[in-house]
Amino acid sequence: MKFKFIFLFLIILLIQTHAQNKFDLPQFADETFQFVKQPLIWEGNDWIKLGLAGTATFLMVQADQPIRDFFGINSEYKKSAPMELGRMYGELYSPVAIAGLFGVHSLINDDKSTRKIAFEILQTTFYAGIITTALKFAIGRTRPFVEAGPKSFGNWSVFDDTYHSLPSGHTTVAFSISTVLANNTKSDLLKIFAYLPAVLTAISRVYQDDHWASDVLLGGIVGYTTGSWVTSKHETKMQIQLLSSRRIGVIIPLN
Q: Is the pTM of this model over 0.95?
A: no
b/e code 158-195 from CB counts within 10 Å (16+ = b): eeeeebbbbbbbbbbbbbbbbbbbbbbeeeeeebeebb
Judge residue 245's burial from the number of C-beta atoms within 10 Å of its C-beta, 0-12 exposed, 13-18 middle, 19 or more buried: exposed
Answer left, alpha or beta for residue 149, where phi above 0 means left and psi between -120 and 50 means alpha.
left
Report helix, strand or coil for 1: coil
Judge residue 227's burial from the number of C-beta atoms within 10 Å of its C-beta, 0-12 exposed, 13-18 middle, 19 or more buried: buried
The predicted-structure confidence for 90-132, as pLDDT tens digits, reads as follows: 999 999 999 999 999 998 998 889 999 999 999 999 999 999 9
Q: Cα 68 vs. chain centroid, distance in angstroms?
A: 24
User: What contacts 221, CB < 8 A, 6 or more positions away?
Assistant: 53, 56, 57, 167
In degrees and rounded to multiples of 5, residue 172 shows phi and psi of -60, -50
The predicted-structure confidence for 140-165, as pLDDT tens digits, reads as follows: 999 999 999 999 999 988 888 999 99
Q: Is there a contact between 184 and 117 (Cβ–Cβ < 8 Å)?
A: yes
Tell me how far apart the alpha carbons of residues 104 and 1 are, in angstroms, rounded to a whole number.
26
Residue 141: CA count within 13 A, CB half-sphere: 26
User: What contacts 123, CB < 8 A, 6 or more positions away?
Assistant: 12, 28, 31, 230
The predicted-structure confidence for 179-223, as pLDDT tens digits, reads as follows: 999 999 999 999 999 999 999 999 999 999 999 999 999 999 999
* Banded model confidence at residue 235, pLDDT cuts 50, 70, 90: confident
* Banded model confidence at residue 246, pLDDT cuts 50, 70, 90: very low
Right CATH number for 5-36+64-232 from 1.10.10, 2.40.360, 3.30.200, 1.20.144?
Answer: 1.20.144
Tell me how far apart the alpha carbons of residues 185 and 96 are, in angstroms, rounded to a whole number.
20
Q: Is there a contact between 231 and 184 (Cβ–Cβ < 8 Å)?
A: yes
Judge residue 91's burial from the number of C-beta atoms within 10 Å of its C-beta, 0-12 exposed, 13-18 middle, 19 or more buried: middle
